[in-house]
Structure formats: structure tokens, C-alpha cells
Amino acid sequence: MSGLANALRRHPELMVAAVLVLAVVVIGAVNPVFWQPSNIFSLLRASVISGILALAVLLVMLSGGIDVSFPAFAIAAMYLTVKAMIAWGFDGVVLPFLMASGIGLCLGLVNAVFVHYFRMIPLIVTLGTGTAVRGFILGAVGTSQINIGQMPPDLIDFARTELFAVARPDGSMAGLSAMVLVFAVIALLVHLMLRHTMMGRSIYALGGGEEAARRVGFNVRRTTFFIYGLAGALAGFAGLLHGAMIWTANPRDMVGMELDVIAAVVLGGASIFGGRGTVIGAVLGVLTFVVITNSLIILGVDTTWQRIVVGLIVIAATAVTAWRDRKRLA
């Protein structure tokens, strides 16, 4: 039994923390612009949506499944909510986010029904529901992009809130988006749920072995519905927040994003076999992912290389976690 595999199993976030530190040091050394507050703030802001979605994916992966439907759910929740707000002439913040989360929740429960009652593989279920939901939005709701002019102003104002701002060398101000705080609060809540509630432990137990979880007395159905419901709600919330942050509601947005988010979560030490992974790991995974992919520009690397880097990150991170998880068979 290798000591490294053991350490990684107990503290899955060790690997990603090391990668993040390495990445930051190297990038900062190559181009000191990296360390400017405006760059750091923009990286943090860029992590918010992926981060919330990563929490959703983490929940599903911990239970031993995988979810590829969340970008579709996020977009559906966002587009339906914004459309409804425009149609009803409603502006506001709390109710729209509740509505988007509720739409995501319902869609997530549909996933749970298939996974639990039909005993279907989550990958196939979520491929199906994700595709169907995208098709429904484009076919039955609309294909047109809603731009800044029509977007509900309260939403946009909310997303523009800044925690504080520092002056750039040229005198203009660079602010840290308050959405980073929103993400931090959600991450903390999910962390507390996973670590300190029986529901959270039942998710880990389910990932450790469904039959064993049942035998110990966990209500596997309730846990499954909770996981997919919460993952859906988080996706819905993230979808509307995404629209608010880019001032646009585009029904064709976030295509292919599932791979990036799953890559970040795996990079954060979550096991593709379930039962292993932490919120801290997932958050660090997203930060690392965002830092690396967004810094290619300041490193002077052509942006077309970005997808290659994403692919390599997926393969490398999965290889390390798979190696770690196989060690238990030895």
C-alpha cells in the first residue's frame, strides 16, 4: 500500500491544493500581471458559476453517479424565469432565484425518478434529460437571445454588487463581485450539510455501497431524491445567476460546459467511482481550472489551445484519482 495513495484517499484535496499553488507560482513568475488585484478579482468572479455547478456535480458524483444534465437545467431555469419575468412585467431578485431553483429542483427530481425507480445509469439518464430539456426550451419556449435592453434591471443590479473595490494603477476601480460571497456561502452550506448531517453522510454511504447503505438503515430513495433535487436546484440557481452576471439570457448558452465542471470536480479529488470527494476539493478544483484556463492568455498561449489543456486536465486528474482508487483493490 503506497503511502501517497493513502494520504490522497484521506485528504483528496491535497493533490489539487499542490497543483493550484504550483500553477499560481509558475503563472505569476511568467507574468506578474497575474498578481494584480483586478486579475485575481476577475478570476474569482469567473469561478462563481462553475463553482456552484461543481457543487451540484460533486453531490451526484459522491453518490456514485455522474450528471451531465446540469448545464441544460441551468439554462432552462434561467431562460424560463427571465421569460416569465418579462411576460409578467416582474422585477426583483429573491422570487426569481426561488423560481429558477424550483425549476431546477423539479428537473432534478425527474433524474431521481429514473435513477431510483428504473435503476438506470445516471450518465444515460442525465444525457437523456439534458438533451430533452434543451430541445424543449429551443422548440417550445424560444430560440432568441434576451439582451441587456430587455433583461430585468434588478437582476442585473444584484449581479453587479461589489464587496469592495481597489484602485488600478491607472486610477480606475477594480471591484470584487459580491457573487463570490454568494458562492462562498453556498459552498459553506453544502460543506456543512455533507460533513455534519446524516443526510450528507448518507450520500457518502450511498457512494460507498448502495446495498450496504440500505442494510444499515439509510433511506436510499430519500437520499437519491435529495441528491438530484438539490443538484437540480443548484443548477437552476447558477443558471439565473449566470444570466444576471453576463446581462444576457441565451438559450444556447453553456453547451459543453459539463465537461469543464466535471473535470474541475475530478481535479478536486472526487472519485469517479463515488464515495470520495469534498467541497473544499471541488472549490479548489474549480479555482485551479479557472486559473489555468484563463491564464493561458496572459501566458501568451493561443486561446485555441485552451480545449487541449482542458482535455489534458481531465485525463491527468482522472488518471491520478483512478490510480488512487485502484490501490484499494491491491
Partner 1 sequence: MTAPLIELRHLGKSFGAVRALEDVSLAIGRGEIHCLAGENGSGKSTLIKVISGIWQPDKGEILFDGKPVHAMTPRDAIARGVQVIYQDFSLFGNLSVAENLALSNELQEGRRLVSWGRVRRIAREATRKLGVDLDLDALVETLPTAGKQLVAIARALMSDPRLLIMDEPTTALTGREVEALFRVVRDIQGRGIAVLFVSHKMREMLDISERLTVIRSGQVVAAGPIGEFDEAKITRAMTGQEIAAEGYRWEAQPGRKPLLEVSGLTVPGEIEDVNLRVMPGEIVGISGLLGSGRTELALALFGMKPGHAGSIRLEGRELRLGSVQDAIAHGIAYVPEDRLTEGLFLTQTIDRNMLATSHDRLSRMGVLQGGRAAREAAAMIREMAIATPTGNRPVTQLSGGNAQRVVIGRWLMNDPKLLILNGPTVGVDVGSKAGIHRKIRELARARGLGVLMISDDLPELVDNCNRILVLHRGRLVSEVAAEETSEAALSAQLGALA
Where along the sequence are the contacts to partner 1 (CB under 8 A)? 1, 6, 9-10, 195-201, 204-205, 207-209, 211-218, 271, 274-276, 328
Which of 142, 208 has the CB closer to partner 1? 208
- Taking the complex as a whole, the smallest distance from the CB of residue 265 to partner 1 amounts, in Å, to 16
CB 47 within 8 A of CB 290: yes
Backbone angles phi, psi at 74, to 5 degrees: -60, -45
Residues contacting residue 101 through CB under 8 Å, at least 6 positions apart: 77, 233, 234, 236, 237
- Taking the complex as a whole, the smallest distance from the CB of residue 205 to partner 1 amounts, in Å, to 5
Q: How far apart are CA 166 and CA 171, in angstroms?
A: 9
Which of 119, 215 has the CB closer to partner 1? 215
Backbone angles phi, psi at 316, to 5 degrees: -65, -45
- Taking the complex as a whole, the smallest distance from the CB of residue 322 to partner 1 amounts, in Å, to 15
Which of 24, 266 has the CB closer to partner 1? 266
Which of 51, 274 has the CB closer to partner 1? 274
Which of 59, 176 has the CB closer to partner 1? 59
CB 75 within 8 A of CB 53: no
CB 81 within 8 A of CB 96: yes
Identify the CA nearest to 133 among candidates 232, 221, 225: 232
- Taking the complex as a whole, the smallest distance from the CB of residue 131 to partner 1 amounts, in Å, to 27
Backbone angles phi, psi at 234, to 5 degrees: -60, -40
Q: How far apart are CA 125 and CA 111, in angstroms?
A: 6
Separation of CA 85 from chain center: 25
- Taking the complex as a whole, the smallest distance from the CB of residue 274 to partner 1 amounts, in Å, to 8
Backbone angles phi, psi at 36, to 5 degrees: -65, 140
Residue 190 amino acid letter: V
Which of 7, 173 has the CB closer to partner 1? 7
Which of 163, 189 has the CB closer to partner 1? 189
Which of 86, 322 has the CB closer to partner 1? 322
- Taking the complex as a whole, the smallest distance from the CB of residue 318 to partner 1 amounts, in Å, to 18
Is residue 103 exposed (0-12), middle (13-18) or buried (19+ Cβ within 10 Å)? buried
- Taking the complex as a whole, the smallest distance from the CB of residue 328 to partner 1 amounts, in Å, to 4
Residue the block writes with cell 454588487: 161
Question: Cβ atoms within 10 A of the Cβ of 42, count?
Answer: 16
